[in-house]
């Protein structure tokens, strides 16, 4: 016999228990693209209480779409060992260029991150940050459906020691902080420098350099790092995203 109300209770109890345990944590990541998932994996693996809020229903951000919906991505030599670490299959297309299935890559990153202990909440958007003594101290969240329907419903706040902006091209968390701090980011102009046009090689290199703190206790990774610090875009080559997620985790682990 299957009782519908037992199914409801099981789902509600399990989710609420998990959510309650997440109200205070070490690190909150915004965005479940490749950089956010990698950052979450390495942080959770080291035992840090890490959670990730993702606006969308599905995970992976720009990853599953590959290049113009051809569900393949390219990864360069520098990040090949990460494909091995996450158990992602690939083929060498030309020396130094590895091609992988973007759906398998998304699945492997997600699986490893969750198994390592990363708590992922999809369908939730970060709409603001908590600020204490001029440093970021957590995030303010609401259901993405509330945001999309433009309903006037107050949010909830989740505290953490560190926040990582992995929201990709729009760099949404850094943008909120820029707006509300009067433009006092740790960038040359104090403001968001803005993403530049395609230059894959330079973009991949700069993504690594730009992966850093942008406001006290707020770090940027992935395409958000290039958007904030003025690097170019790179299209469907993903080594920089994976390596940037790993780098931000290492920086944050050192700080904590």
| Closer residue to ligand 48F, CB minimum distance, 26 or 242 | 242
Name the one range near ligand 48F by CB under 6 A: 52-60, 85-93, 98-106, 248-256: 52-60
| Closer residue to ligand 48F, CB minimum distance, 33 or 138 | 33
| Closer residue to ligand 48F, CB minimum distance, 26 or 172 | 172
| Closer residue to ligand 48F, CB minimum distance, 42 or 53 | 53
Residue 212 Cβ, how far from ligand 48F at the closest point, in Å?
Answer: 15
According to CB under 6 A, which residues from 56 to 85 bind ligand 48F? 56, 61-63
Which residue in the set 129, 224, 242, 251 belongs to the binding site for ligand 48F (CB under 6 A)?
A: 224
In whole angstroms, give the CA distance from residue 228 to residue 144. 24
242 binds ligand 48F (CB under 6 A): no
Q: Which one, of 103, 144, 95, lies nearest residue 121 by Cα?
A: 144
Residue 172 Cβ, how far from ligand 48F at the closest point, in Å?
Answer: 4
According to CB under 6 A, which residues from 17 to 36 bind ligand 48F? 30-36
Name the one range near ligand 48F by CB under 6 A: 103-111, 112-120, 183-191, 217-225: 217-225
40 binds ligand 48F (CB under 6 A): no
Q: What is the CA radius of gyration of the chain?
A: 18
The 3-state secondary structure of the chain reads CCCHHHHHHHHHHHHHHHHHCCCEEEEEEECCCHHHHHHHHHHHHCCCCEEEEECCCCCCCCCCCCECCECEEEEEHHHHHHHHHCCCCCEEEECCEEEEEHHHHHHHHHHHHHHHCCEEEECEEEEEEEEECCEEEEEEEEEHHHHHCCCCCCCEEEEEEEEEECCCCCCHHHHHHHHHHCCCCCCCCCCCCCCECCCHHHHHHHHHHHCEEEECCEEECCHHHHHHHCCECCCCECHHHHHHHHHHHHHHHHHC
In whole angstroms, give the CA distance from residue 162 to residue 217. 5
| Closer residue to ligand 48F, CB minimum distance, 49 or 166 | 166
Name the one range near ligand 48F by CB under 6 A: 21-29, 100-108, 111-119, 166-174: 166-174
Residue 9 Cβ, how far from ligand 48F at the closest point, in Å?
Answer: 28
Residue 107 Cβ, how far from ligand 48F at the closest point, in Å?
Answer: 15
The contact set with ligand 48F (CB under 6 A) reads: 30-36, 53-56, 61-63, 125-126, 166-168, 172, 222-224, 233-238, 241
């Amino acid at each position: 016999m299957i009782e519908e109300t037992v199914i409801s209770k099981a789902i509600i109890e399990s989710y609420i228990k998990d959510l309650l345990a997440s109200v205070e944590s070490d690190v909150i990541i915004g965005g479940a693209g490749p950089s956010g998932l990698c950052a979450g994996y390495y942080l959770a693996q080291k035992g840090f209480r890490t959670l990730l809020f993702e606006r969308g229903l599905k995970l992976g951000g720009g990853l599953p779409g590959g290049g113009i919906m051809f569900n393949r991505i390219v990864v360069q030599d520098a990040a090949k060992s990460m494909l091995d670490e996450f158990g992602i299959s690939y083929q060498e297309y030309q020396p130094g260029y590895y091609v992988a299935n973007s759906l398998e890559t998304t699945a492997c990153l997600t699986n490893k991150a969750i198994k390592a202990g990363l708590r992922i909440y999809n369908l939730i958007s970060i709409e603001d940050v908590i600020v204490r003594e001029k440093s970021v101290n957590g995030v303010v969240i609401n259901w993405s459906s509330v945001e999309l329907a433009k309903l006037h419903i107050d949010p909830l706040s989740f505290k953490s020691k560190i926040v990582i902006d992995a929201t990709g091209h729009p760099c949404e968390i850094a943008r909120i902080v820029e707006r509300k701090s009067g433009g006092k980011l740790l960038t040359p102009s104090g403001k968001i420098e803005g993403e530049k046009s395609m230059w894959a090689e330079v973009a991949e290199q700069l993504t690594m350099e730009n992966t850093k703190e942008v406001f006290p206790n707020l770090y940027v990774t992935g395409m958000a790092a290039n958007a904030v610090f003025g690097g170019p875009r790179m299209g469907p080559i993903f080594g920089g995203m994976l390596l940037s997620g790993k780098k931000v985790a290492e920086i944050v682990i050192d700080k904590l």
